[in-house]
Amino acid sequence: MPKIVDADDRRELVADAVFAVILQQGLAQASLRNVAAQAGLALGSVRHYFDNQAELMEFAFRVNSERIHLRALDALELLEQHALPRDPAAVVDKCASVLEELLPLDDLRRGEAVVHMEFMLAARTDNNLQNAARDDYRATGAVVGRVVLALLGSGLMAGSPEPVDEAERLIAVLDGLGLRLVLQPAWATPEQGRTTLRRHLESLLAP
């Protein structure tokens, strides 16, 4: 009996090969031929699942983004299951545990962050990637926005903050930390990233 190949599994296998090529050689080298070789597939097999290079790149971009955000959403659901405690340190820890899923704090997340940055930079001039880039930003905004709403619901935030403004500031902190953790690992360590994130969250709370 011929082996049945699950199309979704095969497409994800090809996406993983895209990520490996990007990590080793950069996005410019993620051609169909190089990706097929990385995946151990014939070029025709890759073309069976993706009509062209643009379709493959958009799919891989979306897979990368989904993996990052699904982990953050899982952590967010745990956060939202119960009201936040009244202890500021505990609130910071619980919110940070969600947001840290968006930072390159270990080898897995660092690899995902490198791939994500390459795709986001390419989307600046590649029309085929721009929709995926917008969806990625919205996904990050949704996670961060819900964390800010949880902080507001705790009653511990200082002043009368505007949720959208605070979410944008927090996204900027995450973007900056992610960039430094990837590009300057000798200077920006995971522990420093965690500390900086927590200090920002602490600054949002009333004394």
**Residues 70, 136: one domain?**
yes
The model's pTM is 0.92
What are the distances in angstroms from CA 92 to CA 60, 99, 144, 154, 198? 33, 10, 14, 11, 6
Place of tokens 């880039």: 133
For the chain, how many structural domains are there in total? 2
Which range marks the domain in which residue 77 is found?
Answer: 57-203
- In this prediction, residue 2 carries a pLDDT of 43
**Residues 46, 62: one domain?**
no
Q: What's the alpha-carbon Rg for the chain, to the nearest Å? A: 19
**Residues 166, 130: one domain?**
yes
CATH number at residue 68: 1.10.357.10
**Residues 192, 151: one domain?**
yes
- In this prediction, residue 85 carries a pLDDT of 87
**Residues 65, 139: one domain?**
yes
Cα 181 to Cα 24: distance, rounded to the nearest angstrom: 18
pLDDT < 70: residue spans in the chain: 1-5
**Residues 28, 81: one domain?**
no
**Residues 101, 172: one domain?**
yes
- In this prediction, residue 86 carries a pLDDT of 87
**Residues 122, 164: one domain?**
yes
**Residues 65, 108: one domain?**
yes
**Residues 107, 27: one domain?**
no
